[in-house]
Chains A and B, each alone.
Chain A
Amino acid sequence: MSLALQALVNGLISGTLLAVPAIGFTAMFAVLRFPNFSVSGIATLGAFAGYAAYAAGLELIGSLVAAFAVAGLVGLALDRTAHLPLVKQGALPAAIASIASGLVLENVIRLGFGNDLRGFDRPIARDLHVGDIRVSPQQLETMGLALAIMLAVFAALAFTRIGKAMRASADNPELAALKGIRPQRVAMIASFVGMGLVGIGGMLLGLDSSIDPLTGARILLSIFAAAVLGGLGSVPGAVLGAFLIGIAEELSVLVVGSPYRTAVGFLAILVVLTARPRGLLGERAF
């Protein structure tokens, strides 16, 4: 029993980390209306940008900011040049172009850094024991950072003008435009912030393990699973989905063995979508 409880705690922790890129992905979907597959490349890019900043002597927070900024800017540039011009033909061409630009990023990073593994030089400490359950102080720290970022996103969406504008144009672009919200600007901010969050996610997930050009590709399906489970385009849905996927993936280790981890996420999607074709929380952005 305590094994399952421990798995639950582990799942909550990894779910928190997963939530950050999942929010980014789903927020972009809410505004731009296509599934942006380049998140795999962007997550890797964020991880490498954060790594470079950290190696150059920046603190953790500073490195996260660097990951956010680089991933956001590059993501924005890709959206502008490669993806969004295709959206008028439908979501699919844009999605396919984004698969290609994810590949472009992966290989640009490979051109520059090679395939070598790199790791953040962070202290590794023994776990803290709370009763039968153990948690690692580092993971608590990363989890805290992830939670703070999520809170900031929610606050921004709820209280700032641009946040409100984003929600408005996600729910009803025409109405939002009538109200004087410039869709172009909202789209650009969605790209920048969404991709930035994905970049931070890549770095957060790389903090504890190691990074290489395939870092993003390894977490791509989990990000998608989280966003789809919660309802594509719903920010709270992405958070809920991320927790559920995180927990399901850890519990699956005990039940079917960890090789089928991805399959568990996929099955969860199928089950939920059969009952609720628009995901758990529907598609309202907020």
Chain B
Amino acid sequence: MEIKVLGPGCAKCKATADLITRVAAEAGKEVTIEKIEDMRQIVGFGVMTTPAVVVGGKVVHKGSVPSHDQVLAWLN
């Protein structure tokens, strides 16, 4: 499963990527996380607030560090 974390390298973006890695490990899911820090690409997804999360090419979350449960829901 491929998950993209969009954000210009701010603390919350890192926290988001770390959270997804952790939850995936707990749930025993195989994920590859791609951090997208280039502003042009971020804007290309149409998000206005970061960090944002893209799962399967679709923006599922934006503007905050997601909750544990949200991440779990994306993984399933």
Q: Do A and B make up one complex?
A: no
